[in-house]
Amino acid sequence: MSGPNGQVVVASGVTRRYGEGEAAVDALCGISTGFERGRFTAIMGPSGSGKSTLMHILAGLDRPTTGTVTLDGEEITGLDDAALTRLRRDKLGFVFQFFNLLPVLTAEENLVLPLSIAGRRPDREWLEQLIHTVGLADRRTHRPSELSGGQQQRVAVARALVSKPAVVFADEPTGNLDSKASEDVLRLLRQAVDEFGQTVIMVSHDPSAAAHADRLITLRDGAIVHDAVPGSADDVIELMKQID
Amino acid sequence: MTRLAVKSLWARRVRALTTTLAVVIGVAFVAGTYILTDTTFAAFDEIFSESLSKTDVVITARDEVEQETGEVPSFSATLLPKVRQVPGVRIAAGAIGTPGGFFDAENEAIGTPFAPKFITSVLPPALEAQTYVEGHRPRNRTEVSIDEGAAESADLELGETIKLASVERATPYRLVGLTRLGEATFGGASIAGLILPEAQRITDKRGEFDQISIAADEGVAEQTLRDRVQRIAPSSVLVETAAENAARNSDQIRDNLGFLRIALLIFAFVALFVGAFLIFNTFSITVAQRVSEFGMLRTLGAARRQILSSVVVEALAIGILGAAIGLAGGYAIALGLNGLFVAIGIDLPTTGLVTKTRTIVVAVLIGIGVTLVSSFVPALRSTRVPPIAAMQAIELPRSRRRGIVYATLAVLLGAAGMGLLLLGLFGSAEGGTAAGLMGAGAVAVILGVSLFSPRLVRPLASMAGRPLELLRRLIGRLARENTQRNPARTAVTAAALMIGLAVVAFVTVFAAGIKSSIASAVDDNFQGDLVIQNSDGFSPISPRTAEAAARVPGVELVSTLRSAKAKLLNGDGGEPRVSALDPNADEVLTIDWSEGGPSVLRRLTDREVILDKGFAEGNGFELGDRVRLLTQIGARPDLRVVGEFEDRADLLGSAIITQPLIARAFDQSDDTIDFVNLAPGADSQQVQDRIDRLLDRDFPIAAVRNQQELKENQEGQVNQLLGLIYALLALAVIVSLFGIANTLALSIHERTRELGMLRAIGMSRRQVRTMIRYEAVITALIGALLGMALGVVFAALIAQPLEDEGFALSYPVGILLLMLVFAALAGVVAAIAPARRASRLDVLDALHYE
CA distance readout (Å), B115 to B42, B256, B484: 17, 14, 53
In this complex, is the C-beta atom of B516 within 8 Å of any C-beta atom belonging to chain A? no
- Dihedral angle of Cα A201, A205, A211, A216, to the nearest 10 degrees: 50
A102 contacts on B by Cβ (under 8 Å): 478, 754, 757-758
Closest CB to A113 among B473, B761, B764: B761
Name residues 830-849 of chain B within 8 A of A (Cβ): 843-844, 847
Q: Write the residue in B482, B757, B764 that is nearest to A82 by C-beta.
A: B764
Please report the pLDDT score of residue B84 as a whole number.
94
Hey, are the CB atoms on A86 and B762 less than 8 Å from each other? yes
A56, A81, A89: residue with CB nearest B844? A56
Verify whether the Cβ–Cβ distance A104 to B844 is below 8 Å: no
**Looking at the predicted structure, is the pLDDT value of residue A14 above 60?**
yes
pLDDT of residue A3: 43
Q: Spell out which residues of chain B touch residue A116, defining contact as CB-CB under 8 Å.
A: 473-474
Residue of A nearest to B486 (CA): A104
Over the stretch A186-201, which tens digit does the pLDDT of each residue have? 998 998 899 888 999 9
- Cβ(B99)–Cβ(B72) below 8 Å: no
CA distances from A6 to A9, A12, A67, B32 (A): 9, 16, 20, 75
Q: Categorize the per-residue pLDDT at B112 as very low, low, confident or very high, splitting at 50, 70 and 90.
A: confident
Q: Which pLDDT tens digit goes with each residue over B176-192? A: 999 998 877 887 788 99
C-alpha dihedral, B538 to B706 to B655 to B539, nearest 10°: 10
Rounded Cα–Cα distance for residues B512 and B582 (Å) = 33
Whether residue B790 is predicted with pLDDT greater than 80 in this model: the reply is yes
Q: Which of B119, B121, B85, B97 is nearest to B214 (CA)?
A: B85
Burial group, residue B41, by CB count within 10 angstroms (0-12, 13-18, 19+): buried
User: A16 vs chain B: nearest CA distance in angstroms?
Assistant: 15
Between residues B157 and B468, the one the model is more confident about: B157
Chain A residues within 8 A of B752 when measuring between CB atoms: none
CA-CA distance, B296 to B289, in Å (whole number)? Answer: 13
pLDDT tens, residue by residue, B696-729: 999 999 999 998 898 888 888 888 888 888 888 8
Please report the pLDDT score of residue A102 as a whole number. Answer: 84
B760 to chain A, any CB pair closer than 8 A? The answer is: yes
Shortest distance between the Cα of A231 and any Cα of chain B, in A, equals 31
Alpha carbon separation from B150 to B98, B110, B156, B167, B186 (Å, rounded)? 17, 7, 8, 22, 9
Q: Is B588 helix (H, G, I), strand (E, B) or coil?
A: coil
Q: Does position A4 have pLDDT exceeding 50, yes or no? A: no
The pLDDT value recorded for residue B536 is 82
Interval B207-218: pLDDT, tens: 999 999 999 999
CA distance A62 to A77: 9
Is B761–A114 a contact, with Cβ atoms under 8 angstroms apart? yes
Mean pLDDT of B628-650: 89
Q: Is the pLDDT of residue A1 over 70?
A: no
Cβ neighbour number for residue A53 with a 10 Å cutoff: 23
**Closest residue to A117, CB basis, from B481, B767, B847:** B767
Mutate to test the interface with A, among B761, B775, B843, B849 (most CBs of A within 10 A): B761
Q: What is the model's pLDDT at position B16? A: 80
pLDDT band at residue B292 using 50, 70 and 90 as cut-offs:
confident
Nearest CB to A61; choose among B762, B765, B844:
B844
Q: Mark yes or no for CB contact A98/B753 under 8 Å.
A: yes
Please give the share of chain A, as a percent, with pLDDT higher than 70: 97
- Yes or no, beta carbons of A61 and B484 under 8 Å apart: no
Task: List, for residues B474-490, the tens digit of each pLDDT value.
Answer: 888 888 888 888 888 88
Residues of chain B neighbouring A168 (CB-CB closer than 8 A): none
Give the model's pLDDT for residue B179.
93
Q: Which of B93-107, B734-748, B767-781 shows the lowest per-residue confidence on average (mean pLDDT)? A: B734-748
What stretch of H or E contains B199? helix B196-202
Residues B520 and B512: their CA atoms lie apart, in Å, by 12
- Residue A113 pLDDT > 60, yes or no? yes
- Chain B residue with minimum CA distance to A168: B761
Please give the mean pLDDT across all residues of chain B. 87
pLDDT at B399 over 60: no
Is the Cβ of B817 closer than 8 Å to some Cβ of chain A? no
Give pLDDT tens digits for B229-283.
Answer: 999 999 889 999 999 999 999 998 888 888 888 889 988 988 898 889 888 888 8
Contact list, A96 vs chain B (CB under 8 Å): 757, 760, 847
pTM of the model: 0.81
Q: What is the mean pLDDT of residues B641-663?
A: 88
Confidence class for position A2, pLDDT limits 50, 70, 90: very low
CB contact under 8 A, A96 and B757: yes
Buried b / exposed e over B615-642, threshold 16 CB at 10 Å, is bbeebebeeebebebbbbbbbebebebb
Q: For A117, which of B763, B765, B847 is closest by C-beta distance?
A: B763
| Local confidence band at B776 (pLDDT 50, 70, 90 cut-offs) | very high
| Residue B61 backbone class (left: φ over 0; alpha: ψ -120 to 50; beta: rest) | beta
Segment B569-573 mean pLDDT: 82
Asked if B847 lies within 8 A of A116 by C-beta distance, the reply is no
The residue ranking higher by pLDDT, A235 or B830, is: B830
Q: What is the mean pLDDT of residues B57-78?
A: 88
- Give tens-digit pLDDT for B117-136: 899 999 999 999 999 999 99
Q: Give the gap in angstroms from C-alpha B291 to the nearest C-alpha of chain A.
A: 21
Facing A94 at nearest CB: one of B481, B482, B761: B761
ipTM of predicted complex: 0.84
In this prediction, residues A68-84 reach a mean pLDDT of 87
Confidence check: pLDDT of B395 > 80? no
- How many helices, marked H, and strands, marked E, lie in chain B? 25, 25
Interface of A with B (CB under 8 A): 56, 61-62, 81-82, 85-86, 88-90, 92-94, 96, 98, 100, 102-105, 113-114, 116-119, 159-160
| B402: confidence class by pLDDT, cuts 50, 70, 90 | low
At residue B413, does pLDDT exceed 70? yes
pLDDT at B392: 59
- B156 vs B520: which has the higher pLDDT: B156
Residue B825 has a pLDDT of: 93
pLDDT at B850 over 60: no
Residue B848 has pLDDT above 60, yes or no: yes
Q: What is the pLDDT of residues A206-229, one digit of tens each?
A: 888 888 888 999 888 888 888 888
Across the interface, do A117 and B478 touch by the CB < 8 Å criterion? Answer: no
Asked if A82 lies within 8 A of B765 by C-beta distance, the reply is: yes
List CB contacts (< 8 A) between A61 and chain B. 760, 843-844, 847
Report the gap between the CA of A52 and the closest CA in chain B (Å). Answer: 11
The residues, ordered by sequence, that sit 6+ positions from A107 with a Cβ below 8 Å of its Cβ are A101, A136, A139, A140, A141, A142, A143, A144, A147, A151, A155
How near does any CA of chain A get to the CA of B481, in Å? Answer: 6
pLDDT digits (tens, 9 = 90+) for A147-172: 888 889 889 999 999 888 989 999 88
